[in-house]
Amino acid sequence: MNAVATLIVKRDAPFLSADHAERVRAALAEAGANPGAPDWLAPGIACDIPFDGLDVGSAKPIVATALAGEAIDFACQPARGRRKALLIADMDSTMIQVECIDELADFAGLKPQVAAITEAAMRGELDFAGALKERVALLAGLGEDVLDRVYRERVVMTPGAETLVRSMGTTGAHTILVSGGFTYFVQRVADALGFADFAANLLEIDGGRLTGRVTGRVVDAEVKRQTLLDACAARGIAPADVLAVGDGANDIPMMAEAGLAAAYRGKPRARAAADITLDHADLSSLLYVQGFRDREIVEAS
């Protein structure tokens, strides 16, 4: 069959049942599709329902209606080319559960002010580069020791992030963490989660204190998109072979280039641009979306 719907729930709450699968099968059949038998990738956690006779765009609202009110995420996609050769992911509020710039601002007594700008930028209401410079300027004079405190005390990895990165790495996929945040954090998070490469902004520090400026190019939406395209060109793969994961408006251009775009707890514009929105399951669910089975998954260290 030429298409597949994948149903996923949290790995630590495996409640997905044969009834859920049958509900989706029946809805697809009623819409004129020809659904096959469920294929359980992980009992109680993830299930594939292959089908043909209906395009994936038309299938998506049908599956959504069938699962309405359930804490179940799903993806509808072509069956061919599911396994991706490149993972490119945003960091703040995606691979980690905080916005590092907001946590830095907390040490300057400015978190509400900076967080409001961050939120507006992530919703696409502000120019990202301008909003970044405005927020960084408010951090001028902050001691560089605060960077270490924020990393040690505030940065929390998102559930399933390391499992996603390391499992894709074992299949030969290249992995890139690309962030509008700062190299100090991005490099450490990339190392912790197993990313092969990263791109981020560099905070200027003079005399042990932040100057309130970034140096070099600003990693904005266009740089994220170009990083994806450059990585594809370097490895001889097509953008269709890429999984892009993000949550904000500045992730949309790279998501638009990718063969599979996922919004993790995304803002409205990112959700609208995504092929799959993860509202319930953790990031490891993106392995099941690619057809991974439990035996192929590398658990977090």
Half-sphere exposure of 254 (CA within 13 A, CB side): 36
Average pLDDT over residues 12-31: 97
Residue 53's nearest CA partner among 25, 29, 37, 21 is 29
> Distances from the Cα of 215 to the Cαs of 70, 72, 136, 245, 278, in angstroms?
46, 43, 11, 26, 34
Average pLDDT over residues 219-228: 97
Average pLDDT over residues 13-21: 97
Q: How far does CA 23 lie from the centroid of its chain?
A: 28
- Active centre residues (catalytic): 90, 92
Q: Please enumerate in sequence order all residues whose Cβ is within 8 A of that of 181, keeping only pairs 6 or more positions apart, or say none.
A: 91, 92, 99, 100, 101, 200, 201
Going along the chain from its start, the domains and CATH numbers come out as: 1-80 (3.30.70.260), 83-98+156-301 (3.40.50.1000)
What pLDDT does residue 19 have? 98
Tens digit of each residue's pLDDT (9 = 90 or more) over 118-136: 999 888 888 888 899 999 9
Tens digit of each residue's pLDDT (9 = 90 or more) over 130-159: 899 999 999 999 999 999 999 999 999 999
The pTM of this model reads 0.95
In the chain, the amino acid numbered 288 is Y
How far is the C-alpha of 57 from the C-alpha of 173, rounded, in Å? 27
Residue 67's nearest CA partner among 23, 37, 29 is 23
pLDDT-derived band at 96, boundaries 50, 70, 90: very high
